[in-house]
């Protein structure tokens, strides 16, 4: 069974809204993001193991930087690091972003039949650019991005905010995620979820 068919079958049910993560779920953007993190760290003399970025997928950039500081005993300023990381991503690595085709096709197939939102731990500018690069910027009716709720993933706030803005009860929302923190956030919000990277 191909992945689109499997995803379609798994997502059948009493759902009124589909909430998609962006990086790693709709878009294969992690290579570019990881290169950007590593490059910023290297500019300050740190040889960063990019596996930490996979481990913390879905977390807001300042939280990731805080964990880098903790593990490496560094003192990166989260705001400055995040700004430089995003600058490098857009300037040098955005061309690495590719659609995760079966998830993008799933979203397209449900336009008009489900409420569609993207709920991401990345900044709005990054999410908008990524969705534009993969050709679906006009499809989600709502974006909820980093810094737009009191707490980010793994807390439920981003998913609950999306449900509230869409006018859909949390139990009638289905979440599509690739990271542990996103899954934890969906569960905390009382929503069912599908783990994209396990299909």
User: What CATH number did the domain enclosing 70 receive?
Assistant: 1.10.150
Q: Which of 62, 79, 95 is the C-terminal boundary of a domain?
A: 95
Q: Are residues 166 and 86 in the same domain?
A: no
The pLDDT, as a whole number, for residue 1 is 56
Please check whether residue 159 is in contact with residue 119, taking contact to mean a CB–CB distance below 8 angstroms: yes
The pLDDT, as a whole number, for residue 129 is 92
The pLDDT, as a whole number, for residue 103 is 98
Q: Are residues 11 and 60 in the same domain?
A: no
d(CA 84, CA 82): 6
Q: Are residues 24 and 56 in the same domain?
A: no
Please check whether residue 116 is in contact with residue 162, taking contact to mean a CB–CB distance below 8 angstroms: no
Closest of 18, 1, 29 to residue 140, by C-alpha: 18
Domain count, the chain: 2
Q: Are residues 103 and 9 in the same domain?
A: yes
**Residues contacting 61, CB < 8 A, separation 6+:** 78, 81, 82, 85, 86, 122, 123, 146
Domain containing 51 equals: 30-95
Q: Which of 95, 118, 150 is the C-terminal boundary of a domain?
A: 95
Q: What is the pTM of this model?
A: 0.87
Q: Which of 44, 61, 95 is the C-terminal boundary of a domain?
A: 95
Mode of pairing for the β-strands spanning 98-99 and 27-28: antiparallel
User: What CATH number did the domain enclosing 171 receive?
Assistant: 3.40.50.1000
Which helix (H) or strand (E) segment is 185 a member of? helix 180-188
Q: Are residues 7 and 104 in the same domain?
A: yes
Q: Are residues 83 and 146 in the same domain?
A: no
Q: Are residues 19 and 36 in the same domain?
A: no
Q: Are residues 105 and 131 in the same domain?
A: yes
The pLDDT, as a whole number, for residue 60 is 80
Regions of the chain short of the pLDDT cut 50: none
């Amino acid at each position: 069974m191909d992945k689109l068919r499997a995803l379609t079958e798994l997502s059948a049910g009493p759902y009124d809204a589909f909430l998609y993560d962006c990086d790693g779920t709709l878009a294969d953007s992690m290579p570019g993001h990881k290169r950007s993190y590593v490059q910023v760290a290297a500019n300050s003399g740190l040889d960063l193991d990019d596996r930490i970025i996979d481990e913390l997928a879905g977390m807001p950039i300042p939280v990731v930087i805080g964990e880098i500081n903790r593990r490496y005993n560094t003192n990166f300023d989260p705001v400055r690091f995040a700004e430089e990381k995003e600058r490098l991503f857009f300037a040098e690595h955005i061309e690495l972003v590719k659609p995760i085709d079966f998830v993008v096709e799933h979203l397209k197939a449900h336009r008009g039949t489900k409420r569609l939102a993207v709920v991401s731990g990345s900044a709005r500018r990054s999410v908008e650019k990524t969705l534009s690069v993969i050709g679906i910027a006009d499809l989600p009716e709502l974006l909820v991005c980093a810094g737009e709720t009191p707490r980010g993933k793994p807390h439920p706030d981003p998913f609950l905010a999306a449900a509230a803005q869409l006018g859909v009860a949390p139990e009638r929302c289905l979440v599509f995620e690739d990271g542990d923190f996103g899954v934890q956030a969906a569960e905390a919000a009382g929503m069912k979820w599908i783990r994209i990277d396990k299909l």
